[in-house]
């Protein structure tokens, strides 16, 4: 009799565990389909050990230009413990900027305050995010993924200049 009751309790735990697993799984699915949470889009892959020799990361510009003539400034940055390069980067006000970022070592974050830029930078992957700065001034690029002992010191700057 006591054995039967224990078994019943265990069976309840089993059901509860399976229900929880299903609930968590549904939460992940919902976060992808409803909230749009996902890893950076697959914008390409790059060998993190050879990053500095691989285009476009072999040609970092602190005053990035519209290199492909599509009206968007093409800014390329490298994230590494514990800095962004180049730093600062200078862009004009009011023009769309596409940031192409990759990491030389571990996972970093790429958040720019006052604009809607918030991405992960994963070694081996290329992250692309765009922003338009409507106000001239200085913006901070913040690493918001814990990346090691110097994580809290890791930031860069975007200087937005008044247009011509």
Which is closer to ligand CUA, CB of 73 or CB of 126? Answer: 126
The distance of closest approach from Cβ of residue 43 to ligand CUA in the complex, given in angstroms and rounded to an integer, is 19
The distance of closest approach from Cβ of residue 153 to ligand CUA in the complex, given in angstroms and rounded to an integer, is 9
Which is closer to ligand CUA, CB of 73 or CB of 103? Answer: 103
Which is closer to ligand CUA, CB of 46 or CB of 111? Answer: 111
Interface with ligand CUA (CB under 6 A): 82, 108-109, 143, 145-147, 151, 154
Q: Which residue in 144, 109, 101, 147 sits closest to 126, CA to CA?
A: 101
Quote the tokens at residue 81.
Answer: 């413990």
Contact 44, 126 (CB under 8 A): yes
CA distance 32 to 9: 35
The distance of closest approach from Cβ of residue 110 to ligand CUA in the complex, given in angstroms and rounded to an integer, is 9
Q: In the beta sheet, which residues pair with residue 100?
A: 76, 128
């Amino acid at each position: 009799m006591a054995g039967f009751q224990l078994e019943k309790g265990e069976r309840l735990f089993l059901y509860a565990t399976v229900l929880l697993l299903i609930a968590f799984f549904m939460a992940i699915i919902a976060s992808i389909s409803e909230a749009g949470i996902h890893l950076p889009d697959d914008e390409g892959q790059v060998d993190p050990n050879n990053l500095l020799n691989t285009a476009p990361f072999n040609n970092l510009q602190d005053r990035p230009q519209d290199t492909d003539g599509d009206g968007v400034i093409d800014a390329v940055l490298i994230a590494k413990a514990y800095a962004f390069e180049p730093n600062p980067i200078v862009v004009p006000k009011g023009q769309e900027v596409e940031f192409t970022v990759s990491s030389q070592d571990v996972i970093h974050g790429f958040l720019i305050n006052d604009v809607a830029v918030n991405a992960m930078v994963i070694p081996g992957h290329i992250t692309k995010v765009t922003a338009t700065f409507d106000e001239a001034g200085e913006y901070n690029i913040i690493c918001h993924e814990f990346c090691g002992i110097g994580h809290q010191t890791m930031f860069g700057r975007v200087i937005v200049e008044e247009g011509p």
